[in-house]
Amino acid sequence: MEKGEMTYSPYVSFGRTRRTRMTEPLRAMVRETVLTPSDFIYPMFVVPGKGVHKEIKSMPGIHQNSVDEAVKEAREVAKLGIPAIILFGIPAHKDEVGSEAWDPNGMVQQAVRAIKKAVKDLVVITDVCMCEYTSHGHCGIVSGDEIVNDETLELLAREALSHADAGADMVAPSDMMDGRIAVIREILDDHGYVNLPIMSYAAKYSSGYYGPFRDAAESTPKFGDRRSHQMDPANSNEAIREVELDIDEGADIVMVKPAGPYLDIIRRVKDEFGMPTAAYQVSGEFSMIKAAAKNGWIDHDRVMMESLIGIKRAGADMILTYFAKEAARLLRK
Ligand code: PBG
Ligand code: ZN
């Protein structure tokens, strides 16, 4: 071949995907998925006391807050353009049936009242489950070594109602008992909360990624595990069945949890039902990125954003994430 004769290869002239990647404005034009702070829901842990702002060792930057501190953080969240928080309560006293879960002066109920009063335009969601409140750390009533389904439903319903009475904008049952969405919908409707939506932890897997959360919420089961109610990580068709049941029972938003290792489930759920779909990037997903970045093994901000865009690209309309504040700050720059 003479010098200069072939300046391009004819074999790629119709397939030059690099053309639209050459400059940032071009890349922006063809970008399919865009994250915004309004995609995020920020989880918060409320503890008894005053002036308590205690970092969780395994979750750098995430704190257990007393109600007064939770109000401050909620205000900061709203200022960043994040539309919602989800509250978890750690009670002063735990017992067999988790009675503080529906105590009108429980941690979540107090926090909801204080935050709703102090912060405008923030959607306050409450996590509805028993495991933070029971002495054995299980998500329901225990008899022998069984977590009994139907007896637990009544307690979950009472808990959800007390969150609504405190002023919650949305309740999010995370227990995975059968039939809980139906009983919660019924009790809410009976008490006039017909317009209060339910975000159901619909496909919640029995996951090793919840480890750091259980430190934060002090909810590690004292014996056994959660495999009799949370899903087997190997199953996908079963997730569809779970989500379908929750929609039939009245769920308004359905959640897949964890997020990163279950992107295929998020996609299937979104395609199958077209419902508002949430994904929970859980504590372990967060802490792994934090730990690797701290070691200098990965670029923190880059991997944080990549993990979030992956979840949105998979079909999530909203993401519960401990990165919400950091990611929102980055996006606002
Ligand atoms: C309680 C609950 C859990 C999480 C949310 N709600 C933990 C569990 O099921 O043990 C996990 C959240 C996280 O890991 O960030 N049922
Ligand atoms: Zn639980």
Q: What is the pLDDT of residues 37-71, one digit of tens each?
A: 999 999 999 999 999 999 999 999 999 999 999 99
**CA 69/CA 51 separation, integer angstroms:** 6
Atom of ligand 1 nearest to the CA of 139: 16
Q: What CATH number is given to the structural domain containing 93?
A: 3.20.20.70
Atom of ligand 1 nearest to the CA of 211: 14
- Told to judge if 270 belongs to the known catalytic residues of this protein, a careful annotator would answer no
**CA 255/CA 4 separation, integer angstroms:** 58
Q: Is residue 13 one of the residues assigned to a domain?
A: no
This prediction's pTM:
0.96
Other CB atoms within a 10 A radius of the CB of residue 133 amount to 27
Report residue 217's pLDDT band, with 50, 70 and 90 as the boundaries.
confident
**Structural domain count, the chain:** 1
Q: Is residue 161 one of the residues assigned to a domain?
A: yes
Indicate left, alpha or beta for 106 from its phi (over 0: left) and psi (-120 to 50: alpha).
beta
Q: Is residue 15 one of the residues assigned to a domain?
A: no
**Average confidence score pLDDT of the chain:** 96
Residue ranges around ligand 1 (CB below 6 Å): 127, 129, 131, 139, 174, 210, 213-214, 219, 226, 282-283
Q: Which of 94, 210, 255, 321 to mutate to test the pocket of ligand 1 (most atoms within 8 A of CB)?
A: 210
> For residue 287, which ligand has an atom nearest its CA?
1
Q: Is residue 242 one of the residues assigned to a domain?
A: yes
Catalytic residue among 57, 222, 257, 325: 257
Q: Is residue 28 one of the residues assigned to a domain?
A: no
**CA 156/CA 219 separation, integer angstroms:** 16
- On the CB side of 237, CA atoms within 13 Å amount to 0
Q: Is residue 2 one of the residues assigned to a domain?
A: no
